[in-house]
A and B are shown apart, each in its own frame.
Chain A
Amino acid sequence: MKPAAFDYVRADSVAHAVQALAAAGDEAKIIAGGQSLLPMMNFRLVKPSVLVDINHIAGLAEVRERGGRLVLGALVRHRITASDPLIRRHIPVLSAAMKHVAHLTVRNRGTFCGSICHADPAAEMPMLALLLNAEIHIASPRGERGVPAADFFVGSLATALVHDELVTEIEIDTLPAGTGWGFEEFARRHGDYALAAVAVTLQRRNGVAVDVRIAVMGVGEMAIRLHAVERVLEGSDLADARLDQAVALLRSEIEPNSDLNASADFRRHLAGGLARRALSDAWGRAKEQIAP
């Protein structure tokens, strides 16, 4: 229950951090909030030889608007994501989801970017990154690159990051006024990892749903967007028959695991039920827009 020994580097800039990562070969880890990393280090499931602390790098703790999207720096804590007025106004589905993220004390430390780097298949942030068409900004000694969320997550606890790369910020969609949203999650205890969760956004234009987005987590190796389900609902009025069709398709598209908390069949059933609720909530919240 004590971590293995490591060297500690307190990085004072992004350049310093990525140099330290590169110098350590593939044996370094970055620490931001550390709320997932420390338990793994305490159990010695992870034994980095170098720990690069990014908590003192200036300018990474802000939420700001850029080109109609929101940018969250690598040190934006869950507490800030949950209460930030820009996020509340432009992405209410994200504010609402934060209630399900761990507990008050963990939210004080844990970060949005840290959670996507950890890429737990039952965590909220990867699912929301997919829902909000996130672009992940990455620095390394070779410069900077951007990776869309769809290409960032590659498996359970696995991402497209290589050993000397640092996520500096994540850029996410804001949603037009009147966007309907739904977020449904079921966990054994509040704040625990979910057995399943579903996030939905849609617009309601001339009586039908457009720009329908649906993402799920907890029901496979990683969070996923369900584009086939989105296509079934696009242009529909979400009548019962169409919802039935969408839920049936969702259940066939996912491949949940069985574990001691729930069977694969139960998770498949649960995800369908949560999706139906989230879709109905989104439809109910969406403001009708008349477009020519």
Chain B
Amino acid sequence: MSENPKVTVTVNGVAHTRTVEPRLLLSDFLRGEIGLTGTHVGCEQGVCGACTILLDGRSARACLTFAVQADGAEIETIEGQGSIQQLGRIQQAFRDHHALQCGFCTPGFVMVITDILRHHDVETDAEIREALSGNLCRCTGYEHIVNAVRELVRERGKLPS
């Protein structure tokens, strides 16, 4: 095996440099190396969506990306959305609509919703559900999550084309 590569990844605006084994998943890099444990690890096979982060502005499964691939990339995680004192807009909508119970899936939902609000012209409930369909929640039955997203997309309005 060759020497382990050194990677520099910008996470929520802060650059981090580490030497990593190529096989280290981005999800484990964020949690174990950087100490940002808000990115949750559910299935490690790309099915549940709990580890969803933004990679150069678009949602990605952190468990289906190697940390070494993110060298030079901009990553956004749930920790960049807000704090307990000052919730981010999506977090506030989740609170208002009771869109979480145990909270395990919530970071992944908040990150994919960030992608949706920035890039996708979803409007109807069917479109909202389709856009959220890659993330699993076992508590809420999705109703309250859809309610939160409906408010957020109405508030945003149409994306400029």
Contacts and interface: CB of A to CB of B under 8 A. Distances in A.
Contact of A105 (B45, B60, B69): B60
A34 B61 CA distance: 10
Interface in B115-142: 115-116, 120, 130-131, 133-135
Question: Max chain A CB contacts within 10 Å: which of B28, B65, B120?
Answer: B65
Interface string A1-38: 11111111010000000000000000000010011001
A190 B60 contact: no
B49 interface: yes
Contacts of B112: 104-105
A43 B23 CA distance: 13
B21 A42 contact: no
A130 interface: no
Interface residues of A, number: 31
Contact of A35 (B1, B46, B135): B46
Given A2-B25, A35-B46, A53-B69, A104 B64 contact: no
Contacts of A104: 59, 112, 115-116, 120, 131, 133-134
Given A42-B63, A109-B64, A6 B22 contact: yes
A75 interface: no
Given A3-B23, A5-B22, A106-B46, A190 B66 contact: no
Nearest to A40: B45
Given A38-B46, A106-B134, A109-B60, A2 B23 contact: yes
B134 A42 contact: no
B65 A105 contact: no
Given A34-B64, A103-B134, A6 B46 contact: no
B115 A105 contact: yes
B1 to A, nearest CB: 6
A284 interface: no
A7 B134 contact: no
B44 interface: yes
B23 A190 contact: no
B133 A103 contact: yes
B59 A108 contact: yes
A282 to B, nearest CB: 24
Given A5-B23, A7-B2, A42-B44, A108 B66 contact: no
A34 B116 contact: no
Contacts of A31: 69
B145 interface: no
B131 A39 contact: no
Contacts of B115: 104-105, 108
A39 B46 contact: yes
Given A42-B63, A104-B120, A105-B112, A1 B44 contact: yes
B68 interface: yes
B110 to A, nearest CB: 13
Contacts of A106: 46, 61, 134
B65 to A, nearest CB: 7
Interface of B: 1-2, 5, 21-23, 25, 28, 44-46, 49, 52, 58-61, 63-66, 68-69, 71, 112, 115-116, 120, 130-131, 133-135
Given A4-B23, A103-B135, A104-B134, 5 more contacts: A7-B1, A35-B64, A53-B69, A99-B130, A108-B58
Interface of A: 1-8, 10, 31, 34-35, 38-39, 42-43, 51, 53, 55, 79, 99, 102-106, 108-109, 189-191
5 contacts: A3-B23, A42-B63, A104-B131, A105-B112, A105-B135
Closest 8 CB pairs of A and B: A103-B134, A8-B22, A38-B64, A39-B45, A105-B59, A108-B58, A3-B23, A1-B44
